[in-house]
Amino acid sequence: SQQGEEDPQALSIQEGENATMNCSYKTSINNLQWYRQNSGRGLVHLILIRSNEREKHSGRLRVTLDTSKKSSSLLITASRAADTASYFCATRGGGGNKLTFGTGTQLKVEL
């Protein structure tokens, strides 16, 4: 079963607007990561937030983590058409080094 579920499944916005994607997970984690995937391509690592962190920034990206609610959000500010892609959260937990991916959000940024 999927560890993470993301919402919305699909998001369409205008260029310049902010995009927010949410991820929920079920078990305890060591860290949570966000990835971007352009259609038919591999994944690009965006940002990693540790379980003892609450917020992290990287350029136009802002990630929050609420371990009490087992949820995370990814905010992309001032979106661009090039941000159009699928975004996945992935959690790493327990003693292993496996990543469990969420269901993904398909973001479309229109000109």
Partner 1 sequence: GAVVSQHPSRVICKSGTSVKIECRSLDFQATTMFWYRQFPKQSLMLMATSNEGSKATYEQGVEKDKFLINHASLTLSTLTVTSAHPEDSSFYICSASYRTDSLTDTQYFGPGTRLTVL
CA 51 vs CA 11, 21, 85: distances in Å: 27, 19, 26
* 27-46 positions binding partner 1, by CB under 8 A: 30-31, 33, 35, 40-45
- Kindly tell me which of 6 and 83 has the beta carbon lying closer to partner 1: 6
Which of 25, 34, 87, 88 touches partner 1 (CB under 8 A)?
88
**Six token digits for residue 45:** 């690592």
Judged by CB under 8 A, does residue 97 bind partner 1? yes
CA 55 vs CA 11, 64, 72: distances in Å: 23, 4, 9
Judged by CB under 8 A, does residue 24 bind partner 1? no
